[in-house]
Structure 1
Amino acid sequence: METETLNKLINKYNVAAPRYTSYPTVPFWENELFNVNDWTERVALNFSKSKDQGISIYVHLPYCESLCTYCGCNTRITKNHQVEDPYITSLLKEWQMYKEILKEEKLKIAEIHLGGGTPTFFTAENLHRLISGLLDGNEKTEGASFSFEAHPANTTYEHLKTLFDLGFKRLSLGIQDFDERVQFIINRHQTVDDVARVMEDARGLGYESINFDLIYGLPLQTAESVRMTIEKSMELNPDRISFYSYAHVPWIKPGQRRFTEHDLPVGEEKLNLYKLGKQMIQDCGYKDVGMDHFAKTDDALYLASMDGTLHRNFMGYADRYTPLLIGLGVSSISDAWTAFAQNVKTVEEYHELIGKGILPVVKGHILNDEDIVLRQYILDMMCRGKVVLKEGFELNEKIMDRLVPLINDQLVEANENIIQITEIGKSFLRNVCMAFDERLQQTKERENLFSQAI
């Protein structure tokens, strides 16, 4: 595609857009219609139908010793490690509440993912107590997938060994950028040697998949810094790479005000960083897997994209679908397919509710029949690049009308009831999904809800 044509597309589609880890997206949840009893009923019903498939557990560990100014996650900054033990105690109490809801003596666990925050803020001993508590009395499904996010600068051999012995075979290293100027302004410091050390230890122990989190569009980032970061990443040879667009939302995350919009690459400049990084990654044999994700051809994520089992949830892309995702900890989101629920966002309120024996859910959404069809449409586009419209669904005509400009711009192709993403359309995947998002279409107030699509 000619540069001039691409620039026109960038200008046209660089609008506020959701990342679609769910549908409806969180700003459009009908919290006023939601209550915890409805949520627990949906959890129990979903589990009764799908218990043999196993459940997924996401654990949010919010603590960090310093604030990364680019970060959009729910974090608590402290150097006081005495917070670890009481937090794990509350997590295990919350897990026990869910076990009572599920009413199953021995649960099948298909996935565990530790996110944050910085999971490796916690000592290896405390992580052992957490995971042992989650697994106690339960069993892992065949091929269960346990993974965790790690900060290369503070991840120790003991962390890696302890979690590996408990069944963890995958880890994700938060790198973002290796350029020292960029690391300084985003307050995220780790060296290439830090990453190499963690990878050598992990490979030696037998970890099967290592992901690098990289970000384009960070303050002070240039084509040269992205090129250097990708080159060093390729030398380190991870199995997966997540190459994310920086989400600038200072109205939500005040830490991002350490820099201004003038420090950020935007529009064509930002997309060129993506194109450069993507091309370099693909030139080294990694395959495009969904939005922003790349994997080697022998990695489970790529294989899932080929056999149609790729899934997307609040943790990002996964190589399997489990009908029930239980989120534990501050701000964690749970998913029972027909319902979502999110926990309270402060540590103090979380501990208070857990101490009273109350499930710490603060908001959520019960999906109606229309939501469920649209959720599947968006999931299919995000994971398979193709949507087959459901016969007789009343919104199909409106969706096709909204797709007309995308078809004219060659971002998607339509053949009767089949909508297929094009190669250029993959760079505008968020925009394509917006055409299926009925709740988004019903509001004009989008600018302070989502980051820019490009």
Structure 2
Amino acid sequence: MMNSDSTATTIPIDLLRKYDRPGPRYTSYPTAPIWSEDVGGDRYAEALKKASAVADVPLSLYCHIPFCRKRCFYCGCNTCIVKGDTSVDAYTEELCKEIVWTAERLQPRRKVRQLHFGGGTPTYVGVERLGQILDCMEQSFEFDETCERSMEIDPRLTTPEQLEFLAQRGFNRISLGVQDFDPDVQVSIGRIQPHEQVTTVLGHCRRLGFKGINFDLIYGLPLQTVGSFSRTLERVIELRPDRLAVYSFAFLPTVKAHQSKIDQGDLPTTEVKYQLFAKAIEMFTGAGYKQIGMDHFALPDDELSLAQADGRLYRNFMGYSIQAAPEMIGIGMSSIGYVDDGFFQNVSKLKEYGRRIDDSNCAVYRGMKLSDDDLIRQYLITSLMCNFRLDIAPFEERFGIRYNDYFSEERTRLSGFVEDALLEVSSDRLVVTQVGRAFVRNIAMTFDAYLKGDAPGKKATYSRTI
């Protein structure tokens, strides 16, 4: 269903070809590969104590539940396949220990404005264990009345009873992993999920009053063609979820061994992958969706679209949000927190997480305290990624700098984006154009100090920007 009031955004293939290169997704700045393993539990405890001094600043909570029934061939997430309930029961107890330990170091209690469960498949643990985790959270933290509570679900596994439980516990946002509706593509990625199954789960979600319902899609999967993916996009548009995320498939079998089950010969060529991405943008914007970030979309009346129009959009590891909670607590294996201007990440192996929690109730193994320069660049990059603009005067006032002087080198390197009509630069602002939104990662990379050849820290391997 196309919206006659909407204008589709057409992305020139030659620009996709020109700007396709490895680069960060900027869910954080500095990005995770730069962080140091010298940062551990002691530093985290100290940061939590210092953060307690600003009790009026709200929090986000992220809880990682890694379990899945089976591992999809394409998956790049941190997941675990376990047999029986022993590991799940132990992990639930470990999460609760970490929650209590963290909250004890954040006194007085801070208000939680955003809660997100990711995985894995969070509902894998069942409503009883989810209830145990939520009870522990609510006893340890104070939740704001307007708290955004969201959960990722697998339509193949999530039951109506589980959705009813989530609604009763105050969850108001759901994200469904769809990926692709084509049966041949589903077989090739080891995830059989009929269109009717997604439609049924979506209907349950709507009847229960969930808002901001999101579909995750992936382009670049094996056997995808422009024709087959267009049919998937048409079906998605017919279902009309409130939000959409369209991710690029990163084929990294040397990093994710299970991806070796995918026949590399079945993957779309680079040229076809460009066309898939361009088609998604064209069809979704033509159907009335607003582009949120490079690869996210939302209906015009969705809170994300309204927040972006007002310059109020916020972004962290949990995605885009209207809830500006600048500090985040990560709970569970591989989770990431941000407190006292520093990042802290837990270990990513299940047994190691359990051992560390049993030893000290804390599983942090790496992190980074941000410098003044990091904070300046973080703000700028976040502004571009969220709101597609930077207003220079308030930016200068906030950090006590002169933009033209501080970023003299970067200003020169922006000229190519201006020439390609991806960015508009004036004396008072930077504005990413409608076509430029597909390339906002590339524009943001211009301001990333750690991508310079002489930059300190580790050299990272990133997925491609298209």
**TM tier, smaller:** over 0.9
Residues 385-420 of structure 1: per-residue CA shift (max 9 Å, x gap): 112453336641121122122222222121135222
Tell me the distance in 2 between the aligned counterparts of 1:356 and 1:36: 11
Asked if 1:296 corresponds to 2:299, the answer is yes
Q: Which residue is equivalent to 1:450?
A: 462
Please report how far the alpha carbon of residue 277 of structure 1 lies from its aligned counterpart in structure 2 after TM superposition.
1.8
Asked if 1:18 corresponds to 2:24, the answer is yes
Give the counterpart of 2:86 among 82, 89, 113. 82
Tell me the distance in 2 between the aligned counterparts of 1:142 and 1:148: 18
Instruction: Say which SS state the counterpart of residue 217 (structure 2) adopts.
Output: strand
Tell me the distance in 1 between the aligned counterparts of 2:445 and 2:171: 36
After TM superposition, the score normalised by the length of structure 2 is 0.91
The correspondence of residues 115-154 of structure 1 with structure 2, limited to 5 A, is 115-136=118-139, 138-154=141-157
8 Å CA contact 1:16–1:447 kept in 2: the answer is no
Please report how far the alpha carbon of residue 85 of structure 1 lies from its aligned counterpart in structure 2 after TM superposition.
1.7
Kindly report structure 1 stretches of 4+ aligned residues shifted beyond 4 Å: 443-448
Structure 2 stretches lacking a partner, 5+ long: 1-10
Tell me the distance in 1 between the aligned counterparts of 2:331 and 2:454: 31
Please report how far the alpha carbon of residue 311 of structure 1 lies from its aligned counterpart in structure 2 after TM superposition.
1.0
8 Å CA contact 1:10–1:267 kept in 2: the answer is no
Give the counterpart of 1:307 among 307, 310, 317. 310
After TM superposition, the score normalised by the length of structure 1 is 0.93
Residues 12-57 of structure 1: per-residue CA shift (max 9 Å, x gap): 211101101000111122444x3433333333333432x3342111
Asked if 1:57 corresponds to 2:68, the answer is no
Asked if 1:420 corresponds to 2:431, the answer is yes
Q: Which residue is equivalent to 2:402?
A: 392
Tell me the distance in 2 between the aligned counterparts of 1:19 and 1:449: 12
Residues 186-241 of structure 1: per-residue CA shift (max 9 Å, x gap): 11121112112212222222212211001111111111221121122222221111
Structure 1 residues 201 and 282: alpha-carbon distance in aligned structure 2, compared to 1, 3 A threshold: same
Tell me the distance in 2 between the aligned counterparts of 1:285 and 1:419: 25
Tell me the distance in 2 between the aligned counterparts of 1:137 and 1:25: 30
Structure 1 residues 35 and 140: alpha-carbon distance in aligned structure 2, compared to 1, 3 A threshold: closer
- 1:285 is aligned with what amino acid? G
Aligned residue pairs: how many? 447
Please report how far the alpha carbon of residue 137 of structure 1 lies from its aligned counterpart in structure 2 after TM superposition.
5.3
Tell me the distance in 1 between the aligned counterparts of 2:427 and 2:210: 45
Structure 1 stretches lacking a partner, 5+ long: none
Instruction: Say which SS state the counterpart of residue 413 (structure 1) adopts.
Output: strand
Please report how far the alpha carbon of residue 79 of structure 1 lies from its aligned counterpart in structure 2 after TM superposition.
4.0
8 Å CA contact 2:97–2:361 kept in 1: the answer is no
Tell me the distance in 2 between the aligned counterparts of 1:285 and 1:37: 49
Please report how far the alpha carbon of residue 81 of structure 1 lies from its aligned counterpart in structure 2 after TM superposition.
3.4
Give the counterpart of 1:178 among 177, 181, 192. 181
Asked if 1:221 corresponds to 2:227, the answer is no
Give the counterpart of 1:43 among 38, 45, 48. 48
Structure 1 window deviating more from structure 2 (384-393 vs 400-409): it is: 384-393
- 1:411 is aligned with what amino acid? L
Please report how far the alpha carbon of residue 447 of structure 1 lies from its aligned counterpart in structure 2 after TM superposition.
9.3
Asked if 1:355 corresponds to 2:358, the answer is yes
8 Å CA contact 2:381–2:447 kept in 1: the answer is yes
Tell me the distance in 2 between the aligned counterparts of 1:278 and 1:142: 35
8 Å CA contact 2:13–2:274 kept in 1: the answer is no
- 2:12 is aligned with what amino acid? L
8 Å CA contact 1:14–1:267 kept in 2: the answer is no
Q: Which residue is equivalent to 1:254?
A: 257
Q: Which residue is equivalent to 1:371?
A: 374
Tell me the distance in 1 between the aligned counterparts of 2:196 and 2:266: 28
The percentage of counterpart residues that share the same residue type is: 38
Instruction: Say which SS state the counterpart of residue 383 (structure 2) adopts.
Output: helix
Structure 1 window deviating more from structure 2 (19-28 vs 180-189): it is: 180-189
Structure 1 window deviating more from structure 2 (327-336 vs 243-252): it is: 243-252
Instruction: Say which SS state the counterpart of residue 345 (structure 1) adopts.
Output: coil
Give the counterpart of 2:452 among 431, 435, 441. 441
8 Å CA contact 2:114–2:323 kept in 1: the answer is no
8 Å CA contact 2:112–2:141 kept in 1: the answer is yes
Please report how far the alpha carbon of residue 443 of structure 1 lies from its aligned counterpart in structure 2 after TM superposition.
6.0
Q: Which residue is equivalent to 1:317?
A: 320
Structure 1 residues 174 and 350: alpha-carbon distance in aligned structure 2, compared to 1, 3 A threshold: same
RMSD: 2.1
Structure 1 window deviating more from structure 2 (250-259 vs 302-311): it is: 250-259
Tell me the distance in 1 between the aligned counterparts of 2:253 and 2:314: 30
